[in-house]
């Protein structure tokens, strides 16, 4: 092996996690971290929360300061896209024309926004929210906006809707699916979030198809639906999901299928190339199926796992997925993956107080979704990691202490 070292493409949460873990665990070789955005690696979750609400300034989003990278001898290449990956010669070509050699490579390329492809989509006043630059533009535009339409009923759309409503804007959410959070949350949670937004004056329209963006003088003036209705708007936020960024991987001939396919050690189909985070698809040992996760937790933990593999670890990646979303004063926390559940058990007070939805498939607990019940959430993560399923009766019984189940492990 040469001394070209390890290169990491992507400086989001996954890429940074790989780099940090390698140094923390004593890797002393050359280490490059390449990010397309022209700033220090930053946290994404607050973009749709504290930053959008104006509570935090940009400086607080930065993850580690510049001195950190110098101290750990991490060569941070900022504001550069990787133009080409040559797996045979172990070379990256950057947009600037510079070449970077590597012995081992980690792809942490994340995801790409799905764009609205309808008439008027390019109008001024149509925003997206994935990067700091986009969040900055959105925050600036918000000051002069009064009627905001959010297209999409997923996490980004709802968190932004909460921030808009809190800022006193008139807000409508146009959602193609029949419920909010269709891919990720159970019905009781979707219902709760719908009621919550409703109580804050946010209008939610489910089951609609957007036909196009109405424009006046080049600027957005509204959103038109296929059913003929239209919603006036001076600002539109599109949050209709992302797709894994597999372009480099595909160009290098790596196996991809809605994500870069990796094994339990984060290795792709090419020796010495690993992948982690939003871009990676893997078989999850707890769920016995192939998954691709769009979450901070997975980005960080899979990143650590990839670093472990590079250092000779052999353990399979089997972390329990978890997610969170803060909207108004509601803390939604999800442990596990609820897809395919056949039984929902409510613990707590679904109407008023904190509650959790325990999701089972064939009597096995597969996910727990909590509203303002962090104790349930933390316990659920440990139950799922240990493969322990409380009986549905015990889960529903508020006097049954779930944590006691863990002490037998």
Partner 1 sequence: MVKITYVEADGRSYEIEAPEGWSLMEAAFHNGVEGIEAECGGACNCATCHVYVDERYLDKLPPVGPTEDEMLECTAAERRPNSRLSCQIELGAELDGMVVDLPETQL
Query: Tokens 């372009």 sit at which residue?
Result: 247
Q: Compute CA 406 distance to the chain's CA centroid, rounded to the nearest angstrom.
A: 29
Using rule CB under 8 A, residue 356 touches partner 1: no
Measured from the CB of residue 376, what is the shortest distance to partner 1 in angstroms? 9
Measured from the CB of residue 46, what is the shortest distance to partner 1 in angstroms? 6
Between CA 100 and CA 96 the distance in angstroms is 11
Measured from the CB of residue 196, what is the shortest distance to partner 1 in angstroms? 17
Max CA pair span of the chain: 68
From the list 297, 339, 389, 397, which residue makes contact with partner 1 (rule: CB under 8 A)? 297
Cβ proximity to partner 1, 175 vs 370, nearer residue: 370
Using rule CB under 8 A, residue 372 touches partner 1: yes
Cβ proximity to partner 1, 62 vs 225, nearer residue: 62
CB 197 within 8 Å of CB 204: yes
Between CA 186 and CA 162 the distance in angstroms is 20
Using rule CB under 8 A, residue 296 touches partner 1: yes
Q: Which helix (H) or strand (E) holds 393?
A: helix 392-396
From the list 62, 94, 137, 141, which residue makes contact with partner 1 (rule: CB under 8 A)? 62
Using rule CB under 8 A, residue 375 touches partner 1: yes
Cβ proximity to partner 1, 63 vs 121, nearer residue: 63
Q: Compute CA 375 distance to the chain's CA centroid, rounded to the nearest angstrom.
A: 23
Closest CA to 355 of 367, 340, 372, 379: 372
Using rule CB under 8 A, residue 203 touches partner 1: no
Token pair, residue 145, equals: 């906006």
Q: Vertex 257, ends 261 and 9: CA angle to 5°?
A: 55
Using rule CB under 8 A, residue 255 touches partner 1: no
Cβ proximity to partner 1, 67 vs 399, nearer residue: 67
Token pair, residue 166, equals: 């809190």
Between CA 83 and CA 177 the distance in angstroms is 36
Residue 198 neighbours by CB distance under 10 Å: 11
Using rule CB under 8 A, residue 333 touches partner 1: yes
Measured from the CB of residue 348, what is the shortest distance to partner 1 in angstroms? 13
* Binding residues with partner 1: total (CB under 8 A): 29
From the list 27, 324, 328, 400, which residue makes contact with partner 1 (rule: CB under 8 A)? 324
CB 296 within 8 Å of CB 13: yes
CB 334 within 8 Å of CB 367: yes
SS3 of residue 171 by DSSP? strand
Using rule CB under 8 A, residue 386 touches partner 1: no
Cβ proximity to partner 1, 286 vs 378, nearer residue: 378
From the list 379, 384, 390, 395, which residue makes contact with partner 1 (rule: CB under 8 A)? 379
Using rule CB under 8 A, residue 374 touches partner 1: yes
Cβ proximity to partner 1, 62 vs 101, nearer residue: 62
Query: Tokens 């309808």 sit at which residue?
Result: 118
> Which residues between 7 and 46 bind partner 1 (CB under 8 A)?
24, 43, 45-46
Using rule CB under 8 A, residue 67 touches partner 1: yes
Closest CA to 211 of 114, 115, 113, 117: 117
From the list 76, 138, 185, 300, which residue makes contact with partner 1 (rule: CB under 8 A)? 300
State how far the alpha carbon of 313 is from the alpha carbons of 308, 372, 381, in Å.
5, 37, 24
From the list 54, 58, 71, 146, which residue makes contact with partner 1 (rule: CB under 8 A)? 71
Measured from the CB of residue 112, what is the shortest distance to partner 1 in angstroms? 22
Residue spans of beta strands (DSSP E) within 273-329: 273-275, 280-284, 289-291, 322-327
Measured from the CB of residue 318, what is the shortest distance to partner 1 in angstroms? 14
Binding site for partner 1 (CB under 8 A): 24, 43, 45-46, 49, 60, 62-65, 67-68, 71-72, 296-297, 300, 324, 326, 331, 333, 372-375, 378-379, 382, 403
């Amino acid at each position: 092996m040469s001394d070209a070292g390890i290169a990491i493409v992507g400086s989001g949460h996954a890429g940074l996690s790989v780099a940090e873990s390698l140094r923390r665990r004593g890797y002393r070789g050359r280490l490059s971290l390449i990010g397309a955005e022209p700033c220090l690696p930053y946290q994404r979750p607050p973009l749709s929360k504290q930053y959008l609400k104006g509570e935090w300034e940009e400086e607080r989003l930065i993850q580690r300061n510049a001195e950190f990278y110098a101290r750990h001898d991490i060569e941070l290449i900022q504001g550069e896209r990787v133009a080409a990956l040559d797996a045979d010669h172990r070379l990256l070509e950057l947009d600037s024309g510079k070449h970077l050699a590597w012995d081992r490579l980690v792809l942490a390329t994340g995801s790409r926004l799905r764009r609205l492809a309808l008439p008027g989509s390019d109008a001024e006043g149509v925003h997206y929210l994935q990067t700091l630059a986009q969040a900055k533009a959105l925050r600036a535009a918000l000051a002069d906006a009064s009627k905001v339409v959010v297209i999409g009923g997923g996490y980004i759309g709802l968190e932004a809707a909460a921030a808009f409503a809190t800022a006193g804007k008139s807000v409508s959410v146009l959602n193609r699916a029949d419920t909010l959070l269709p891919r990720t949350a159970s019905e009781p949670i979707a219902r709760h979030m719908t009621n919550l937004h409703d109580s804050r004056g946010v209008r939610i329209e489910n089951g609609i198809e957007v036909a196009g963006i109405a424009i006046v003088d080049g600027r957005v003036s509204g959103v038109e639906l296929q059913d003929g209705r239209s919603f006036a708007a001076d600002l539109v936020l599109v949050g209709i999901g992302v797709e894994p960024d597999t372009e480099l991987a595909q160009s290098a001939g790596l196996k991809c299928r809605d994500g870069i396919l990796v094994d339990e050690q984060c290795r792709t189909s090419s020796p010495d190339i690993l992948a982690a985070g939003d871009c990676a698809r893997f078989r999850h040992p707890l769920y016995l199926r192939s998954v691709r996760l769009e979450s901070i937790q997975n980005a960080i933990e899979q990143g650590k796992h990839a670093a472990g593999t590079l250092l000779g670890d052999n353990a399979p990646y089997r972390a329990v997925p978890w997610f969170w979303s803060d909207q108004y004063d509601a803390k939604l926390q999800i442990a596990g993956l609820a897809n395919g559940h056949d039984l929902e058990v409510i613990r707590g007070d679904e109407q008023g107080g904190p509650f959790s939805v325990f999701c089972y498939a064939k009597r096995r607990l597969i996910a727990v979704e909590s509203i303002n019940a962090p104790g349930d959430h933390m316990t659920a993560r440990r139950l799922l990691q240990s493969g322990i399923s409380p009986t549905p009766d015990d889960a529903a019984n508020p006097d049954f202490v779930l944590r006691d189940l863990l002490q037998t492990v």
